[in-house]
Structure 1
């Protein structure tokens, strides 16, 4: 299924909020740089914006060294950070004669080389937003029970092989939206949690054409000491507490 064709984006802004991410940010930025160089992106200009929120380490320096635009803030709020990054990017591209595609990911995640090309292709089909999935990477040693439960719960609604999965998930690590739809929806809400879902909910209310797809997942960290309380890291920590290793390895029900 395709949405009605609309004006294709003429520029891309990749927005990454970060708080003390000097260790993981280089891999994230390297993956975005590779995605920006994909043949499917062509000559479309790509700006990467890192929003350094209350950082006490070298996050900002790492980002600048990689060629990213850095926005230092003191919000301690991921919704406000993402919104600030988008505002900076749209101001940078203020004179372009067309919509800007806003691609959101996270500092502890890495995108595929075709990530931006995939989103731009969907935008060219007429989709206002692309809501993607994530895959978890580098599970802690000795915790197969955690990985198994996560995968089972995450993919509960996936249909049989070969059918598109219009999944229920929303991740700021894998989200794209056109600037016109973003503005009409009011942008990222100033929320410390679920700001990504808040934006998608607003997009739905304003009638945006939203594609939920698992075709181009982003790889994200499995750390259980998250930067944002209540986010993906806390979700993994809760799963670990819910499933004792012995119960999971013995074949006992864990759902």
Structure 2
């Protein structure tokens, strides 16, 4: 993203949600706080993409006064893509992705803006912290920490903490209609087309340590497999 575009920057924050009544309110509250940290010259707004929700998620999103659209894809790649294209159609020049079971840090958006200003980056891959280890074995925590590179230049990819310019997103074709690893696929296409990627541990999200995975090979499944190996 060119620095000259900063004056017209509008951030669309896209959150897919499938039956996330237990977590969506905290997620939206954290996003609102992050938005308030931005300078007044930068606009930002959240958009929840409700995917086949049968619980109280919709009511909670309405109560929070947040914009939403509904679909019934049960495919996270399609859900993210429809939300992002909706945000771009409504003027978003930068897209910030997170998940409904995650909480963004207060400076989540500010740090993204700093990277864009300093490095003219096209994509930022951030890091995640686990919210609670209490229900997991000590060895699972140790294995995770040993595996995870919480530093600048890491190579972790999380759909819960991925952001990019709208122009670049459209140029590479957007998220593929994949039920998992849609984030890895998108990053690879950015890399293949030589877009500038920043691997940052200053852009942070705290994500759920639940083991009941929404995606068969997502973050919850990764933790569940670690825990299974240690039981």
Question: TM-score band (shorter)?
Answer: over 0.9
Consecutive aligned runs of 4 or more in structure 1 exceeding 3 Å deviation? 3-6
Tell whether the 8 Å contact from 1:224 to 1:237 is kept in structure 2 after alignment.
yes
1:117 to 110, 131, 143: 110
Look up the match of 2:15: 16
Matches of 1:221 and 1:239, distance apart in 2:
15
Q: Is the 8 A contact 2:136 2:227 kept in 1?
A: no
Counterparts in 2 of 1:92-171, with a 5 A limit? 92-93=90-91, 100-125=93-118, 126-141=120-135, 143-155=137-149, 165-171=152-158
| Greater fraction strand | 2
Describe the SS at the equivalent of 1:147. helix
Deviations 1:14-33 (A, max 9, x none): 00001000110000000000
Aligned partner of 2:31 in structure 1 is 32
Q: Structure 2: where are the runs of 5+ without partners?
A: none
130, 150, 164: which one aligns with 1:177: 164
Aligned partners of 2:42 and 2:172: how far apart in 1?
A: 25
TM-score (norm 1): 0.85
Structure number with greater Rg is 1
The worse-fitting range, judged by mean Cα deviation, of 67-76 and 141-150 is 141-150
Report if the CA contact (8 A) 2:77-2:182 is conserved.
yes
Alignment of 1:58-73 (within 5 A): 58-73=56-71
TM-superposed deviation, 1:231: 0.7
Structure 1 unaligned spans of 5+: 94-98, 159-163, 245-255
Q: How does 1:212-251 map to 2 (within 5 A)?
A: 212-244=199-231
Against the structure 1 CA distance between its residues 22 and 153, is the aligned structure 2 distance closer, same or farther, given a 3 Å change threshold?
A: same
Match of 1:44 in 2: 42
Does structure 2 conserve the Cα–Cα contact (< 8 Å) formed by 1:79 and 1:188?
Answer: yes
Root mean square deviation, CA, Å: 1.7
Does structure 1 conserve the Cα–Cα contact (< 8 Å) formed by 2:50 and 2:68?
Answer: yes
Compared CA separation, residues 102 and 4, structure 1 to 2 (3 A)? closer
Flag the structure with higher helix content. 2
How far apart in 1 are the matches of 2:216 and 2:228? Answer: 16
